Structure 1
Amino acid sequence: MSQYVAIDETVHGQLKVNPPKDFTVAKEQNLIPVVVTEFANAATSYPIVLLYDKGLKRYRSVVLTSIFTGENLYYRPQQWEAIYIPKVILNYPFAIGLHPSENDKLTVHIDVKSELVNNNIGLPLFEMGAESQYFKNVQERLGNLYHAELLTGEFLVQLSQDKLITPMQINLAFTNGDKKKIVDMFTIDQQKLSELPSDKIAEYQQRGYLAPLYSLATSSLQLNRLRRLFNEKHDIGIEAMEVKSGDELDSGSVTPNAPSTNS
């Protein structure tokens, strides 16, 4: 069980971190957050889907690493079945979060329950009463990622305002005869994308939105890779996969805030 706490030199002055040699932390994550600056690379290996957070009333972008929770088809012991690895995985055991006493300030957190964190072996966070170069590099990476998260939020708000986001579902037929429907996800409306007026395309290009928009739209092709990885791992494979969106959705499909599977 993870336990993230804000890093405080008076408490964590002796902490050291062993850089991860594998990606065990993500072995059961079927949804991994990605930011807009990652879309181009992520789309070469993963389907990128959008989820809607009802509490925050906003969309967020993730890569789909399995159709079932608790499974990551890209994870293998000592390797990862893709060239690109999401930054949130590479940054582990660090994350950015609110300062414990200053709610309007962000600070670096660390998972103190991680096996990578200890007081004896690894790279120190502090040296001779000052932040180590390693810790400074971590802070810079997390700062860049946080900035990219803000850009991602603005990007997805714009897509929503332009009505380019549409619900999607994945219909699956398995080799044992079972059928399942994956719902509660969103993607790009291909029809509306093809009808974008030239002035809107120019606006997107100027704001740096055009490339990630098309990366998001075309990443659904990676569902075929997901199907292959699933069939390599499971005795009961996926025999057929059908992706629907917008007006193609089955009658009665719902799209709340997190992916689910329906028989």
Structure 2
Amino acid sequence: MTNHVLLDNITHKDLKIITKKSAEFGDNQRGVITFPTEFRAIQNEYPIFFQRNPDTDEFQAVAMLGFEEGENLFLDEKGWNANYIPAAINRDPFLIGYKNDTQDGAPIKRVAVHVDMDSPRISKNDQGAAVFLPYGGNSEYLERIQRMLLVIQDGVPTSKAMFDAFKKWDLLEPFTLNIEFIDGKKYSLINNFTVNEEKLYQLDGAALQELNSTGFLFSAYMVIASMANIQTLIEKRNSLLAKTSA
């Protein structure tokens, strides 16, 4: 269940959030949606793949965290072991919503921060990160959350434009990953897409200029660079398997 309400510094003046990352808060995901607006940070840590949204059939970018359902190889007993946490996870329990307002006497809806008051991250014992300062101003924590929500808000239309450009220049190709781990278990990653490097390198000057002017050439290179993190994930899982069997 969720209980999304508009965040304000009166109703929620004492609100504190548990920021620790762990499976009990739903952080044990094998993949999470990501956006071109954070690709620079994502590609340093995680492989980026493209998938079709089952509800809309539109492409979306996904940061890979593990190989099996419920497996996040970046989670350990201390929390999330990476320099950057994807915005779609790190913003929890906050989300983008709207509030009613007026402009020139006409009713309008403005973008506003909402919070899920049924989230297990809502502190019940006055521990955690304060959302507001004692006199009502935004805490540094809330300022970070707002920046994460902006990454998502701007990332949604940017993603659509990026995939439209990739499709225009025929840069999307299916990708299959077959792995055998040290315990003999085999894994296949199917129904995913990536950037076709060969076609990217064969684009003419006009195409490259168009992609570069929109920032999507950079996005393509970030996706290609992120593929090196697949080996890091394999090593993480093999290391855990070795410890388990020792």
Partners of 1:178 and 1:126 lie apart in 2 by 51
Partners of 1:116 and 1:37 lie apart in 2 by 26
CA gap of 1:163–1:18, structure 2 versus 1, over 3 A, is same
Partners of 1:185 and 1:14 lie apart in 2 by 44
Partner of 2:75: 75
CA gap of 1:144–1:171, structure 2 versus 1, over 3 A, is closer
* 1:185-229 Cα deviation digits (max 9, x unpaired): 111112211211111111111111121110112211110001001
Where structure 2 has 5 or more consecutive residues not aligned to the other structure, the ranges are: 101-106
Residue of 192, 197, 200 corresponding to 1:190: 197
Partner of 1:63: 63
Residue of 208, 218, 239 corresponding to 1:232: 239
The CA RMSD over aligned residues, in Å, is 3.2
**Distance apart, 1:54 and its partner CA:** 3.7
Partners of 2:150 and 2:9 lie apart in 1 by 22
Amino acid at match of 1:84: Y
Q: Is 1:159 matched up with 2:183?
A: no
**Distance apart, 1:98 and its partner CA:** 6.0
Higher mean Cα deviation, 195-204 or 105-114? 105-114
Mapping 1:1-263, distance limit 5 Å: 3-7=2-6, 9=8, 12-13=11-12, 16-18=15-17, 20-24=19-23, 25=25, 27-97=27-97, 106-118=111-123, 121=126, 123-124=130-131, 132-134=137-139, 137=143, 138-139=145-146, 141-235=148-242
* TM-score scaled by length of structure 2: 0.79
- Aligned residues of 2:181 and 2:238 also touching (Cα < 8 A): no
**Distance apart, 1:120 and its partner CA:** 6.3
- Aligned residues of 1:34 and 1:88 also touching (Cα < 8 A): yes
Amino acid at match of 1:205: N
- Aligned residues of 1:15 and 1:118 also touching (Cα < 8 A): no
Partners of 1:78 and 1:204 lie apart in 2 by 41
Partners of 1:28 and 1:178 lie apart in 2 by 20
- Aligned residues of 2:18 and 2:123 also touching (Cα < 8 A): no
* TM-score scaled by length of structure 1: 0.75
Count how many residue pairs are aligned between Structure 1 and Structure 2.
233
Higher mean Cα deviation, 141-150 or 182-191? 141-150
CA gap of 1:99–1:90, structure 2 versus 1, over 3 A, is same
Higher mean Cα deviation, 133-142 or 108-117? 133-142
Amino acid at match of 1:166: E
SS class of match (1:20)? coil
CA gap of 1:97–1:75, structure 2 versus 1, over 3 A, is same
SS class of match (2:50)? strand
CA gap of 1:124–1:227, structure 2 versus 1, over 3 A, is closer
CA gap of 1:26–1:233, structure 2 versus 1, over 3 A, is farther
**Distance apart, 1:8 and its partner CA:** 5.7
Amino acid at match of 1:147: D
